[in-house]
Structure 1
Amino acid sequence: MLRPQETPSRERVSLNGLWAFALDPGDRGRAEEWWRGPLPDASEMPVPASFNDVPATRDAHDHVGDVWYQRQVRVPAGWEGRRVVLRFDAAAHRAVVWWNDVEVARHEGGYTPFECDVTSLVRPGEAGRVTVVVDNRLTPASIPPGIVDVLPDGRRRQRYFHDFFNYAGLHRAVWLYATPHTYVEDITVTTSVHGTSGQVHYRASVAGGEVAEVVLRDAEGVERARAATASGTLDVPDASLWQPGHGYLYRLEVRAEGSDSYELPVGIRSVAVDGDRFLINGEPFYFRGFGKHEDNPVRGKGHDDVLMVHDFALLEWIGANSFRTSHYPYAEEVLEYADRHGIVVIDETPAVGLNFEIAHTLVPGDPPHIFAAIDDATQAAHLRAIEELVARDKNHPSVVMWSIANEPDSARPECRTYFEPLVHAARAADTSRPICFAQVQLPPAQDVMSDLFDVICLNRYNGWYIDTGDLVTAERELEAELHEWARLHGKPIIITEYGADAIPGVHSVSAGPWTEEYQVELLEAFHRAFDRVESVVGEHVWNFADFATGYGVNRVDGNKKGVFTRDRRPKAAAHALRRRWTEEKAV
């Protein structure tokens, strides 16, 4: 799905700002058809933002169920005779949309965009009423999964099986945009490198017509290749490659018969797995970075350009070259920024919490294992999440690998049965990138599905959840396990999570757990083990910054594994990583 953009043939209007907003704890709105008029007892809510922390009430923070958004939208008078589309970059976790009294869209999945053609309903120059109901409930059939309990007093309580807060609402931008009726509908680009030449393999589709012309220009605007077919390969002699630390981008313009055109940034680069090496442009690449979260005070998961640019500045300061979009697709603005600045991304679906064996420590009373609770509907939702992730992010050169799940219960035969068709679907959706999943704390002999994937990604908490406080044992057992993974699979190994909670300002000469000193010493123990295992090709610390979680006595004011605080102040671990990544391991 192509992002809205402004060209000589396209216009867009941002619908971000303050919307009318109403909580609906009794689910009255659908029965009473609130979309037919002004929302009752409405307050104001900024878009984009999570709604939970903005009103400063417990009712909003803990709300489970429907919330309603509404605003008037004036269609530009100059859009007469054009196709008009209403687009939502994300609505967590499912939404229904009305234009005036007409339902125009339904979507499930809280992190990927959806849009609807409202041409027949709008009148250019006049205003229409847009109403959206967003449901934040997680069920066994949703991705991520959850369970809603109805309490004796009628209140609802959401249980979920992942360790970050279930922020919800309109987290990302909302757009109204216009195109000609014959328009560029989709573009798919993959690239390859042979010597000093690059190849841009493209496929484009035009709704209501045909592709008239395809032109590739370099960053200076000089034309480098041209074609007049809907698919093909453009050869680029002496190509400037997109590479880590240098986000060189070409521009591919696709012109449709008639008047429409669309410009797509293109980074020419190759990605491959060769034995136990991960290659970008034929050169071994070592991942240095983090698992992150879209998480900030007050805004929750709401996208904010200021915070995004600051986070990337901190990544540069600390010497990171990559991150994983744990545990869901991030706002597309984030990937566009990574494209421009040469930051490498592992792009992940929202399939987190498929492991009740871990979750029982957070949520008492879980079923014995996840595969006793999920069914074909869950798998279908997971498949849609994979397909929508690839459809949105397939053209970003920064994205070098798809992660289709985080920490599933990969010791059970049912897990392989569940995941095998999803792996095949992911490969069918995109043959140009490796596929992984993040495996948690299972020895290689017990894992039943890592052979299906291209890269071994391991979340390991030796010295924290296991052998707490004993870093000698943690280092020894971690190294032994990594050697065993390398022996059994012969694939690249990335440690996609490792770390320890540290309360900022808590210090100890004995470096006990929860101190800043212990966080540093644990990371250093892991790094010594990594450096002795040749198959390890990456280290992603958990986490970039402290983040909000659900309630629980083992989480005081959220997860404290960040090397930065939630407001982005560095802990001692941040300075230790900077020394390693900018001085000791600058590769």
Structure 2
Amino acid sequence: MTPRPSHPTGENTLLKPRSTLTRELVNLDGLWRFALEDANVREPWTGALVSKLEAPVPSSYNDLFADQQIRDHVGWVWYQRTAWVPRGWSGERVFLRLDAATHEGKVYVNDVLVAHHVGGYTPFEADITEHVTPGADFRLTVGVNNELTRATIPPGTISVSQDGRRQQTYLHDFYNYAGLARSVWLYSKPERHITDVTIVTGIIGRTGVVDYSVEASQETKVRVRVLDATGREVTNAVGSVGTLSIEDVLLWRPGAAYLYDLVVELLDGEDMVDSYTEHFGVRTVEVRGTDFLINGEPFYFTGFGKHEDTAVRGKGHDNAYLVHDFQLLDWVGANSFRTSHYPYAEEVLEFADRHGIVVVDETAAVGLNLGVQGGLTGIGPQPTFSPDTFNHETQAAHAQHLREVIARDKNHPSVVMWSIANEPASNEDGAREFFEPLVKLARQLDPTRPLTYAAVMFATFQNDKIADLFDVLSINRYYGWYVFTGDLKTAEQYLERDMRGWVEAFGKPIMMSEYGADTMPGQHSIWDMPWSEEYQQSFLDMNHRVFDRIDAFIGEHVWNFADFQTSNGIHRVDGNRKGVFTRDRKPKAAAHSLRARWTGLNGAKPTEGQTKAAENTSTDVRAEPALEGAK
């Protein structure tokens, strides 16, 4: 039998709320009253929140208002609204779920604290049955704290300026957007209900093998049924743990998604007590030698590191941008992306499931590297891993976050690999002691998916202390940008030596998880001039020549899909400009070059001939939209 992922115990198992035959769902998104915590706003849950401000949910609050104090606020903010419990929910359990509160959330129903959660990118919920009445309203107050410390994931530090202002410092190069950036839900469950569902798939010949396990609030009879995309039942079983077979199975494939439904029912005799439906795809993932295999076939990743980042909304989830971004991924020929540098909204993964886009799912462990801070600020070096820096508290927060990410995302067929950290100080003493227990935990939670992490520029095949623990080597490199700026010939030589060194040292599949150059749209040059659109094209072409000469290479994720907002800094001009698309999703010239390279690959590794052809046609490709319009 295929190994099953384990998961955190307890009621809050992160099973996504759905409307079913036995459950109802009310969305609480909209405009909420909003206020910063200050001397006048200390305990807003005890009564009506006195504020003229309103904030939309979902969204980050930072860019909504014209007040600089709100944008720069460090600490708690408060959201409040009135909600109604449907009168038909009498006799049901009533739950409140927040899809995210960045980075810490407290939830009050009337005057009662019902939930407290630390971690800004995973959901949490509370059973509020005893605090509400069906057919009546209640006051819902949510506090959100944006503070990052050495004991949070991602980490940061708080300082106080000479004039008494609290200031947040963090180690990641994207803006610390905060607030209720994802949806809030009110939903019902029967008294006896399903609490978790785990699905692991395999393939034997033309038969799909589906291992499942179901947990419930009370021990009771469980029946499961598998429905195909037309709603036809193809197999069924009785029992909370078992294996199902799907004859002539239709596989979930990159670019050609096919989804089944697992309908889970709790029974009292033959009477249905609770029903829950989980969507799944049948597919396998494996690392064999230096190949990454999906359904037993070698797969080559093409795509991007992305961000949940748009103007005004910040990290607020937006379905319009979701659809448009996936359209751009399809247009450019991308087959995958990494959720840099935190788990994205569940709607994103569900969309990837339905459309056959492959996802590397990354935790929020970004910034575990004090060497980067020293390089950018001139501050003397500090050891990254020590009792006074990142220690057992940081590790415990990282472990809990890892549990929550895997529990939430384990059933998504689009998720083919876990990335447990971005650019940690894997070259420093203490790195192995920090990460080895986390790798062991991740494999216990999900033994079915490969593991990776994104290696920072300072970590080389000669000094990295953790690469042997992982299945795939994901490398972030910026030769030609941060190193050998503008000198692409030298950059190409160093890049190839670097990549071949990793392959020879570890014998594992290798992919480029970040490579890119800041580019101002409309900046042009006939020379290799950094910041110009032509330099971004030349930079990517240079990298691609190297990738295509290395047999163990399995993929390329350009940094970044689109320009995004960062914290203040003289090396950033209104954010990070490494996007192939602008922040409002207009293509730069490099987008057309990538389209020429990636379109038609269908997961196959490009050849050197294809690379040269793409380089030669990249200028012509830029004219395609105009030519198509003329036709």
- Correspondence list, 1:240-319, <5 A: 240-257=250-267, 258-319=272-333
5+ long unaligned stretches in structure 1: none
Which amino acid in 2 is paired with 1:278? Answer: F
Q: 2:374 aligns with which of 356, 360, 363?
A: 360
Asked if the contact 2:335–2:603 (Cα under 8 Å) also holds between the matched residues in 1, the reply is no
Q: Does residue 1:445 correspond to 2:459, yes or no?
A: no
Deviations 1:287-346 (A, max 9, x none): 000000000000000000001000000000000000000000000000000000000000
Deviation of the 1:584 alpha carbon: 6.8
Matched, 1:464 2:481: yes
The equivalent residue for 1:326 is 340
Instruction: Name the residue aligned to 1:12.
Output: 25
Q: Where in structure 1 do 4 or more consecutive aligned residues deviate above 6 Å?
A: none
Correspondence for 2:82 among 72, 78, 82: 72
Computed over aligned residues only, the root mean square deviation of the Cα atoms, in angstroms, reads 1.2
CA deviation digits over 1:224-282, x for unaligned, max 9?
A: 11100101110111100001001100000000124210001010000000000000000
Partner of 1:133: 143
Matched to 1:106, the amino acid is H
Matches within 5 A, 1:63-462: 63-257=73-267, 258-363=272-377, 365=379, 368-372=382-386, 373-441=389-457, 442-462=459-479
Alignment partner, residue 537 of structure 1: 554
Indicate if the aligned counterparts of 2:564 and 2:576 stay in contact, CA closer than 8 A. yes
Shift of 1:193: 1.0
- Please state how far the C-alpha of 1:60 moved relative to its aligned partner: 1.6
Equivalent residue for 1:547? 564
1-side partners of 2:88 and 2:275: how far apart? 18
Shift of 1:586: 6.5
CA contact (8 A) 1:161 1:362 kept: no
Contact 1:159 1:363 in 2 (8 A): no
Tell whether 2:587 aligns with 1:570. Answer: yes
User: 2: distance between equivalents of 1:275 and 1:180?
Assistant: 48
State the shift of 1:527 in Å.
Answer: 0.1
Q: Which amino acid aligns with 2:431?
A: C
Q: Give the Cα–Cα distance (whole angstroms) in 2 for the partners of residues 521 and 276 of structure 1.
A: 28
Give the conservation status (yes or no) of the 8 Å contact 1:402–1:434. Answer: yes
Give me the whole-angstrom Cα distance separating, in 2, the residues matched to 1:33 and 1:160.
Answer: 28
| Rounded Cα–Cα distance in structure 2 between residues aligned with 1:452 and 1:344 | 23
Stretch of structure 1 that moved more, 36-45 or 333-342:
36-45
Instruction: State the match for 2:620 in structure 1.
Output: none
CA distance in 2, matches of 1:6, 1:131: 24
Instruction: Tell me the secondary structure at the aligned position of residue 438 of structure 2.
Output: helix
Alignment partners' CA distance in 1, 2:497 and 2:559: 21
Distance 2:47 2:38 in 1: 19
Q: Output the amino acid matched with 2:328.
A: L
Per-residue CA distance 1:398-456 (angstroms, 9 max, x = gap): 00000000000011120111000000000000011001100011220111110000000
- Asked if 2 retains the 8 angstrom alpha-carbon contact of 1:273 and 1:279, the reply is yes
Give the aligned residue type for 2:438.
L
Given that 1:356 and 1:366 are in contact with CA atoms closer than 8 Å, whether structure 2 keeps it comes out as no
- Contact 2:426/2:464, CA 8 A, preserved across alignment: yes
Preserved CA contact (<8 Å) 1:25 1:65? no
Deviation of 1:364 after TM superposition, in Å, equals 5.4
Does structure 1 residue 23 correspond to structure 2 residue 33?
A: no
CA distance in 1, matches of 2:303, 2:232: 35
Q: Say which of 518, 524, 533 aligns to 1:507.
A: 524
Q: Find the residue that maps to 2:479 and give its secondary structure.
A: coil
Deviation of residue 40 (structure 1)?
A: 2.5
1:23 to partner: Cα distance: 1.1
Q: How many corresponding residue pairs?
A: 584
Pairing 1:474-485 to 2, within 5 Å after superposition? 474-485=491-502
**Post-superposition offset of 1:39:** 1.4
Decide whether aligned partners of structure 1 residues 193 and 586 sit closer, same or farther in structure 2, where only a CA change above 3 A counts: closer
CA contact (8 A) 1:160 1:363 kept: no
- 1:42 and 1:87 map into 2 onto residues whose CA distance is 26
Aligned-partner Cα distance in 2 for 1:301–1:67? 16
Deviation at 1:41, TM superposition (A): 2.6
Q: Deviations over 1:534-569 (max 9, x none)?
A: 100000000000000000000110000000000000
SS at match of 1:178: strand
Question: How far apart are 1:34 and its partner, in Å?
Answer: 1.6
Deviation of 1:8 after TM superposition, in Å, equals: 1.2
Instruction: Report the AA paired with residue 128 of structure 1.
Output: F
Could you state the TM-score of these two structures normalised by the residue count of structure 2? 0.91
Q: How does 1:489-508 map to 2 (within 5 A)?
A: 489-508=506-525
Shift of 1:363: 4.7
